Amino acid sequence: MEHIRLPKVDNARLLDRVSPRRSKVGTLYLTATHTIFVESEAGVRNETWVLHSLVCRLEKQGATDSGCPLLIHCKNFQVLRFVIPREQECHDVLLSLQRLSQPESYEELYCVTYKPNVDEEERRQEWDFMDLKADYSRMGLPNSLWKLSPVNQHYKVSDTYPADLFVPESATPPVIVGSSKFRSRGRFPTLSYYSKENHAAICRSSQPLSGFSARCLEDEQMLEAILRSNPRSDFMYVVDTRPKLNAIANRAAGKGYENEDNYSNIKFQFIGIENIHVMRNSQQKMLEVSQLHSPSMSDFLEGLESSGWLRHIKAVLDAGIFIAKAVAEEGVSVLVHCSDGWDRTAQVCSVACVLLDPYYRTLRGLMVLIERDWVSFGHKFSHRCNHLVGDPKEVSPIIDQFLECVWQLMEQFPCAFEFNERFLITIHSHIYSCQFGNFIGNNQRERTDLRLLERTHSLWSYLWTNRAVYINPLYRANHSQTQGLLRPSTAPYCFKFWKGLYNRFDQGMHPRQSVEDYLSAIQEETQQLEEQLASHKQKIAHLEKEQGWNSVTQKTAPFDNSPTAWAHGNNLNMANTPQDYTGGFITSSPCQPKAPDSSLILLSQDLTKTSEFNLSNSSDQESGIADLSCRSPLSEDSTKDPDSDEAANLFT
């Protein structure tokens, strides 16, 4: 609280980006963890909360007659436009937020003070939810070809690698250590993914310290061991994800790439994904375009093209496709690296896994994949996501690009993923929010030293507990899209701008209800109909038994598509009435249907047709709930002879 110069500002205004004239007046509060805006309109208690850890940039504009504008740009792409009544108040808020949004130590992060209402035992169980060893076991590891090596216990070989690593069975500790000394940051080749169907593997490392002519016998033996671990192939790919010019430039610094003359039976491949600085600038240009106020079509498309953002997404996907095809179709193992092996390497390996393995297209599977290829293998989350005040040149949207690659695949294969877009967006938000301990620190060793498992909560357990809201209603486990290798198209017209992520806070620019929510509502409605149908059948059976109408119902051909069942006779209190549907959506109808004149029991025979009827032109497109008001075939003209052609046509 000592960093807060002004805890409260009255009569602040929050502007709408789409309609700046439409503003909300209220009180702005600064707390130790959040900026809170509370509307002061009578009878309204709307609040806007923003975590300080999500703030990435503050912009104070020139004072006007109405006040001093202050723009808050957030890492989740929300932009808040406040107008502070007095310039001095605006200055105090600015200085306060600058310090609060740039913590200087891990102790200041929100995850340390975040205390949900759970006991200590439950908090420990949250971290037990994620078990990477179980995923390796699912792959069939360890086996006669790959072993779990203790060589990096206590992080003594590479301080940015995890402690548990899988290496070829024939790789001895001297070979592993020798290889690590020839690789940047000691990140020697190790297993990322194993295909038990054909023994092909995806391995990862950093660039070799080859310079112009240096070589290392142990490193060459390490790649030979990886090749021998795939008995069905006589060569392996080495994929350098950097542009060739960048890799050549690194040779001058004593680094570089593998010389095919020194490594036997390898095929070398450059991919051409740009570095973190290009990606940072590209995203910033793309965001400037997406945040334009009422841009023309040409301005938007030209700005998006000049940003190069979708070209970079395509480059990452192309690399993942190359590796996935090598493993699945050629049965060839692949070694992937970039410079240090924690940015482009993580992107490419994880995209390839999503393409290869349906498990990583499930809720739990994607969480396991991020935990393994990003968290465990040392993606520098604190630096890339700017968790602490530091070098701005280290910030880059590498994890954003991976999540967008997954979303682009979901757009091409809508039935192949168990999770929906909301799942990806929630993960993205919490990577930057620092509310959970999963993405704090730059590697496993740092997280161990910070004792995060003892002091913070896990995002994965939270997502799994609330998984119902992240389910894709189109997902089918036995669908052809769900099985085996995905083969996406990377033609330019297949890539889309992800407005659901970059413009999701622009109110008025999106439908009131997403397609996924609408489909979920239809599924829920269908389930209600099925339950009602079962209830109706039970009631009809009960009526038949008590009234002895079996002979009548056998003579009468069923022809009603309505979910309503009617009975006629002296004992009308036993008939189904509108009150029987309490709790169902049918009670929303303002019309009370009339009972037919003839002694008939109208059965709902075709649930599919009933569902189609419910989704007719009378459906409420905003709420997603069907409106059956005045549409029942039993209302108005239903007193006509049901045996007539005209009446029969009503039910076809």
Which of these ranges, 119-133, 511-525, 566-580, has the smallest mean pLDDT? 566-580
Confidence of residue 313 (pLDDT cuts 50, 70, 90): very high
The predicted-structure confidence for 86-111, as pLDDT tens digits, reads as follows 999 999 999 999 999 999 999 999 99
Torsion of the alpha carbons at 130, 134, 138 and 140, rounded to the nearest 10? 150
Residue 349 designated active-site: no
- Would you say 387 and 464 are in contact if contact means Cβ atoms under 8 Å apart? no
pLDDT at position 543, please?
87
Asked if residue 173 has pLDDT above 70, the reply is yes
Tell me which H or E stretch contains 69.
Answer: strand 68-74
Which of these ranges, 216-230, 297-311, 411-425, 589-603, has the smallest mean pLDDT? 589-603
* 263 CB-near residues (< 8 Å, 6+ apart): 220, 223, 224, 238
- Would you say 232 and 333 are in contact if contact means Cβ atoms under 8 Å apart? no
pLDDT at position 619, please?
39
pLDDT at position 513, please?
59
**Amino acid found at 87:** E
Confidence of residue 413 (pLDDT cuts 50, 70, 90): very high
- Would you say 251 and 212 are in contact if contact means Cβ atoms under 8 Å apart? yes
pLDDT at position 265, please?
94
| Helix (H) and strand (E) counts in the chain | 23, 14
* DSSP code per residue over 304-360: HHHHTHHHHHHHHHHHHHHHHHIIIII---EEEE-SSSSSHHHHHHHHHHHHH-GGG
Closest Cα to residue 217, out of 171, 250, 263?
263
Asked if residue 176 has pLDDT above 80, the reply is yes
Q: Give the span between the Cα atoms of 128 and 336, in whole angstroms.
A: 30
Confidence of residue 515 (pLDDT cuts 50, 70, 90): confident
* Average per-residue pLDDT for the chain: 85
**Mean pLDDT of all residues in 243-270:** 94
The predicted-structure confidence for 344-380, as pLDDT tens digits, reads as follows 999 999 999 999 999 999 999 999 999 999 999 999 9
pLDDT at position 591, please?
40
Q: Give the span between the Cα atoms of 404 and 315, in whole angstroms.
A: 12
Confidence of residue 2 (pLDDT cuts 50, 70, 90): confident
Q: In sequence order, what are the beta bridge partners of 38? A: 27, 47
Q: How far is CA 435 from CA 53, 124, 171, in A?
A: 9, 16, 41
Asked if residue 386 has pLDDT above 80, the reply is yes
The predicted-structure confidence for 436-466, as pLDDT tens digits, reads as follows 999 999 999 999 999 999 999 999 999 999 9
Q: Give the span between the Cα atoms of 284 and 290, in whole angstroms.
A: 10
Asked if residue 575 has pLDDT above 60, the reply is no
Q: Give the span between the Cα atoms of 511 and 193, in whole angstroms.
A: 40
Share of the chain above pLDDT 70, in %: 83
* 502 CB-near residues (< 8 Å, 6+ apart): 77, 286, 287, 290
Q: Give the span between the Cα atoms of 411 and 497, in whole angstroms.
A: 11
Closest Cα to residue 202, out of 218, 190, 185?
190
Which of these ranges, 267-271, 292-296, 458-462, has the smallest mean pLDDT? 292-296
**Mean pLDDT of all residues in 476-482:** 82
Task: For residue 601, give both structure tokens.
Answer: 């029991």
- Would you say 519 and 628 are in contact if contact means Cβ atoms under 8 Å apart? no
Confidence of residue 490 (pLDDT cuts 50, 70, 90): very high
pLDDT at position 480, please?
80
Q: Give the span between the Cα atoms of 36 and 30, in whole angstroms.
A: 6
Which of these ranges, 297-311, 393-407, 557-571, has the smallest mean pLDDT? 557-571
- Of the chain, the end-to-end C-alpha distance in Å amounts to 70
pLDDT at position 652, please?
40
Q: Give the span between the Cα atoms of 196 and 205, in whole angstroms.
A: 21
Asked if residue 21 has pLDDT above 90, the reply is no
Asked if residue 139 has pLDDT above 60, the reply is yes
Asked if residue 595 has pLDDT above 70, the reply is no
Between residues 67 and 293, the one the model is more confident about: 67
Q: In sequence order, what are the beta bridge partners of 72? A: 58, 80
Closest Cα to residue 549, out of 541, 558, 538?
541
pTM of the complete model: 0.80
CA 359 from chain centre, in angstroms, equals 15
Between residues 564 and 140, the one the model is more confident about: 140
**Mean pLDDT of all residues in 142-160:** 96
Q: Give the span between the Cα atoms of 141 and 138, in whole angstroms.
A: 7
pLDDT at position 383, please?
97
Asked if residue 25 has pLDDT above 60, the reply is yes
Which of these ranges, 10-14, 243-247, 527-531, has the smallest mean pLDDT? 527-531
Which of 68, 74, 90, 338 is an active site residue?
338
Between residues 1 and 603, the one the model is more confident about: 1
**Mean pLDDT of all residues in 519-532:** 83
- Would you say 338 and 273 are in contact if contact means Cβ atoms under 8 Å apart? yes
